[in-house]
Structure 1
Amino acid sequence: MDEVTGAQLIAEALKSQNVEYMFGIVGVPIIEVAMAAQAAGIKYVGMRNEQAVEACRLYSKFSARPSSLEMIPAVVEKAVRSSIYGRPGATYIDIAGDMVNAKIDRASVRFVSCCPAPPVSQADSREITQAVRLLRAAQRPLIIIGKGAAYARAEKEVRELVEVTGIPFLPTPMGKGVLSDDHPNCVAAARSRALLQADVIVLLGARLNWILHFGFPPRFSPHVKIIQVDLCAEELSNNVRAASALLGDIVAVVRQLLETVRSWRFPSDSQWWLTLKEKMTANAQISKSLALQSTLPMNYYTAFHHISELLPKDCIIVSEGANTMDIGRTMLLNYLPRHRLDAGTFGTMGVGPGFAIAAAVLEQTQKSAQRVVCIEGDSAFGFSGMEVETMCRYKLPIIIIVINNNGIYSGVDPKTWKEMEKMGDMTTIAPPVTLLPEAQYEQVMSAFGGRGYLVRTVEELRSALQESLDNTQMPSLLNVLIDPASDLFNYLQASRISIYFGAI
């Protein structure tokens, strides 16, 4: 009798679904599953954040517990299929501990082949006609490119739609790079004006959630007409009734639009384009004045300005934090699709190092020269900073840049901190948003064999970042000390810039 364990069945079922990587928390009985996965040819990366599984449980698209060993391959296939069919999302399989080491005759197991690629559907032709009618009549059209377009790999079709029609576009945070941020039709620097004054908006894989202010006034016109392209029927007309609801795969639907709209082009000399360009120019000047300030400690804009000058255009940017993520999103341009990951719709802190590790493992396996740069606020780094040990263990040349303002949103300088300590019990005195001033985060990386840099000046920042980019053998961490009050001093300006550069 050819016996097989539950751990082997799990590994073989995943392998049959073309799963190449597994990330997990080591412990009994996960050890057996991890070893079986490696034996099956799956690359296993052992992580450190023990809360990850429990955090995912409530947000799974599909969850199941196999009732027997025989059912493991079928449940794995359904979990993989559910994760990629329709709206993509995470799935969860709960394996009873005693199943992992239990044995069964292989002949009694019903193995399942790899699931087919997701089916592709087109939108209703009547809705396509309505969408084109709305675009042709629009005085102030706008395209919003969401992360759904990035996931669908629709960059070729979206580029053609933008360039054929001449319509300005805005990317959502993780829609950045589907079309390059420096594309002439990108109006991210006039985000607030574009959203408020647009009379027809095409949503390409973007949703009217909090990131887009739910489509409500005063950020949007109360009379705006929405053309919504989405593969999830339940999402259509959420918050704002769609004037044209295009249910289907983004690639297929955009091709349908192109077939009908090719003979029309929005004029580049329109009042709408003039209005947007004027606002973009004015906002760029404000941003530049903040970025070129020479005072020490640096502010956010100065730090990001010099970081952006050195980062390769093809690097993968991972970002999380409060001000760090918001302002960084406006200052660090993305030129390629699927090259930006951040805290996403849920605004989840602590995901940055894990995202960076996953990206770096893929780049390492593919022998790509692309670098992974993880830009963290100091508070965000605290959620899962111990993953630097994982980076060092697997020799992943990730560059972590901690923008350290001594707090969550804002902190205090060392002198003020010492004065507060003299006043008595810090639990009753220290503002809740403050962290220990000038914490030496770079030493965490150094402790595990990576390279750590303490950065106070522009010269130190540029030197440390260039050294880190040149080093492809180990991870690096730059602890960039900035003015803890920079967001307070520039609060009104920063708020305005965050709005019209798309930082919300």
Structure 2
Amino acid sequence: MDPAKHAGDVAVAVAKAYGIETMFTLSGGHVFPLYDGAVHEGLPIMDVRHEQSAVFAAEATARLTRKPGLAVLTAGPGVTNGVSGAATAHFNSSPVVIMGGRAPRSRWGSGALQEMDHPPLFQPITKLAFTAGSADSVGQDVETAFRTAVAPQRGPVFLDFYMDDLFSPAPEHLATTMSPSPLEPDTDALARIARLLREAERPVLVYGSDVWMDRAEQAAVDFAEAWRLPVIPNGQGRGILPAGHDLLVTRARGIAFGQADLVIVVGTPLDFRLGYGWFGGKDGAPPAKVVHLADAPSQLAGHIGLAGSAAGDLSLVLWGLAAACDEAGVNPARYSPWLTRLADSAAAAIAGDAELLAAESTPIHPMRIYGELAKVLADDAVVIGDGGDFVSYAGKYVEPRRPGGWLDPGPYGCLGTGLGYSIAARIARPSSQVVLLLGDGAAGFSLMDVDTLVRHKLPVVMVCGNNGMWGLEKHPMQLLYGYDVAADLQPQCRYDQVVTALGGGGELVTEPSQIGPALRRAFDSGVPYMVNIATDPEIAYPRNTTGI
């Protein structure tokens, strides 16, 4: 044992072996040895203003780089402040390791500062939550945490350390970071799916976040193009087929999902975002057959009857399914009229948006903002959504041109992810535009971490859709009850002045003609900059009740 090595050194060395390039944290004495280890190992430390941002930044790092992310939280409230971030990572299947401090083993049970047994809080929202066994076991325990986080199905792991263990000498640990062999899909299952496609007349292909996370984006493009299938992306599946691709029919989503006879969902849960997997049945169409393809058997839907399913490495799944389609004699000509219909419908919807995307009305329609944003977004921009109604428009009108350029909170729907995600995006993509789309409600959760952007010189363009309300609640409550409560915010609140007070730049926009010039000033500024746009409070994002 090297007497100069303490357990914090060993923990950080193992983390670096698993590809960790940044430690996200908020300072706390229980985890000082982990900071000391980071200094010794040359691991950059990114300190934030709220622990939730540390975990959100670690999660965004995992989703953008497809390597694990690391957050370090001090004991007690530091750890509990990270629970929402862990839950978000859980629902997004993001490989994040959260390391927590813990009151000293030598004082455990006697009422030490911030003494709390953390793992039981995390067990329902992590793949594994545990306490390191001793100083001697720290290296192996950290390796267990990372190996568990990155194994299919990926997800977060929580590991805490007794404070006195971290300060104690510990043996070095040689991490074994070899990846497990990729899971091979069942070829018979793929053959059955190919036969379903052979008989289909109105198929739809859905690509979700795990296609990106599995590094299967090229296999996904090849499969869709080879068999001429209409594609609707979900989550980080956005951008796998770039904006303008002739198979991308996002804007015909209602018709596609309502009248399809076969829906093949790849790499995303059949949750509320996809109508819980209930497709078809609209305008006289029968219910659609549903096929679910996932990268781990545990992710296959169990709440509905599936016409087919397969699990495995998603590149292998898609390559195998392509071979099965060839053998089964799938003929895209059978469903080419359906593809044409969806493409025409999508084109008509895009053309129909032109008026509102260029609307000169005041107060500003939210769509006008996206009309202007589209003019200045680069192909490699990272666009982050943190909000309700305002960000819902982004889901419809921001179509990424490359994969890996979109981040939203995912199915957990946690507000406040935006600043943490922005910090991570600027680090992961230093030469790309980073654009944070904030609702004014969401801005209240994490805006103080603009200070982190400023201190660490991380320029981000923030666009706040400011309608002075909790729009997702106010309009539905009025519809249900004829009144609303607890749904109003300060009209035209100067969130931009918060940003300038913290050392960034910003301005309030109240006229449509001001939007484009303000966005250009934001991108040219080279600092964290908010364009705070007062939008029409009477406009609600149009929704239905099906989840589709």
Q: How does 1:11-26 map to 2 (within 5 A)?
A: 11-26=12-27
1:404-463 CA distance string (max 9 Å, x none): 111111799xxxxxxxxxxxxxxxx98411101111011111112211121122332211
Kindly tell me: are residues 125 and 50 of structure 1, through their superposed partners in 2, closer, same or farther at Cα, counting changes over 3 Å?
Answer: closer
* Cα 1:236–1:327 shift into 2, 3 Å: same
Indicate which of 145, 155, 158 corresponds to 1:79: 145
CA apart distance, 1:50: 3.4
Instruction: Answer yes or no: is 1:442 the counterpart of 2:496.
Output: yes
The aligned counterpart of 1:229 is 293
Q: Where in structure 2 are there 5+ consecutive unaligned residues?
A: 53-80, 87-121, 475-482
**Residue 231 of structure 1 contacts residue 250 of structure 1 at CA under 8 Å; is this kept in 2?**
yes
In the alignment, residue 396 of structure 1 is paired with which amino acid?
Answer: L
> What SS is found at the alignment partner of 1:479?
strand
Q: Does 1:258 align with 2:322?
A: yes
2: CA distance, partners of 1:228 / 1:158: 15
Q: Secondary structure of the equivalent of 1:373?
A: strand
Q: Identity of counterpart residues, as a percentage? A: 24
Residues 401 and 223 of structure 1: is their aligned pair in 2 closer, same or farther, counting only changes over 3 Å?
Answer: same
Structure 2 match to 1:277: 343
1:41 aligns with 2:95: no
Deviation, structure 1 residue 17: 2.5
> Is this contact kept in 1: 2:260–2:280, CA < 8 A?
no
Residues 1:266 and 1:411: Cα distance change in structure 2 (over 3 Å): closer
Evaluate the alpha carbon distance shift between residue 244 and residue 269 of structure 1 in structure 2; reply closer, same or farther with a 3 A threshold: closer
For 1:383, which of 445, 470, 475 is the aligned residue?
445
Q: Mean alpha-carbon deviation: is it higher for 204-213 or for 225-234?
A: 225-234
- In the alignment, which residue of structure 2 is the partner of 1:345? 411
Residues 249-398 of structure 1 correspond to what in structure 2 (within 5 A)? 249-262=313-326, 264-267=330-333, 270-364=336-430, 369-398=431-460
Shift of 1:222: 5.9
Aligned residue runs from structure 1 range 83-482, under 5 A: 83-101=149-167, 103-104=168-169, 106=170, 109=171, 111-216=173-278, 223-262=287-326, 264-267=330-333, 270-364=336-430, 369-409=431-471, 431-472=485-526, 474-482=527-535
C-alpha distance in structure 2 between counterparts of 1:39 and 1:454, whole Å: 45
Q: Which moved more, 1:396-405 or 1:259-268?
A: 259-268
Moved over 3 A (4+): 217-223, 262-265, 268-271
User: Helix, strand or coil for the counterpart of 1:95?
Assistant: strand
Distance 1:198 1:410, change over 3 A: closer
8 Å Cα contact 1:69-1:99 kept in structure 2: yes
Deviations 1:79-118 (A, max 9, x none): 11111111111111111122222x22x5xx2613242124
Q: CA deviation at 1:70?
A: 1.0
Check conservation: 2:191, 2:325, Cα contact below 8 A: no
- Report the RMSD for the aligned CA atoms in angstroms: 2.3
Q: Deviations over 1:458-482 (max 9, x none)?
A: 332211211222233x211111111
1:53 to 72, 82, 107: 82
For the residues of structure 1 that align with 2:420 and 2:180, how far apart are their CA atoms? 27
Letter in 1 for 2:425: A
Q: Distance in 2 between matches of 1:268 and 1:243?
A: 20
How many residues are paired up?
A: 470
Say whether the 8 Å CA contact 1:373–1:399 is kept in structure 2.
Answer: yes
**Does the Cα contact within 8 Å between 2:202 and 2:259 map onto a contact in 1?**
yes
Give the distance between the partners of 1:459 and 1:31, measured in 2 at CA: 51
Amino acid of the residue matched to residue 154 of structure 1? A
CA contact (8 A) 1:18 1:114 kept: no
Q: Which residue in 1 is equivalent to 2:10?
A: 9
- Which whole-Å CA distance do the structure 2 matches of 1:114 and 1:219 have between them? 51
Q: 1:290, 1:18 → 2: CA distance?
A: 45
- Distance (whole Å) between structure 2 residues aligned to residue 161 and residue 14 of structure 1: 36
Alpha-carbon distance between aligned partners in 2 of 1:230 and 1:382, rounded to the nearest angstrom: 36
Q: Which has the larger displacement, 71-80 or 211-220?
A: 211-220
2:201–2:335: 8 Å Cα contact kept in structure 1? no
CA contact (8 A) 1:320 1:352 kept: yes
Indicate how the Cα distance of structure 1 residues 410 and 268 shifts in structure 2: closer, same or farther if over 3 A, else same. same
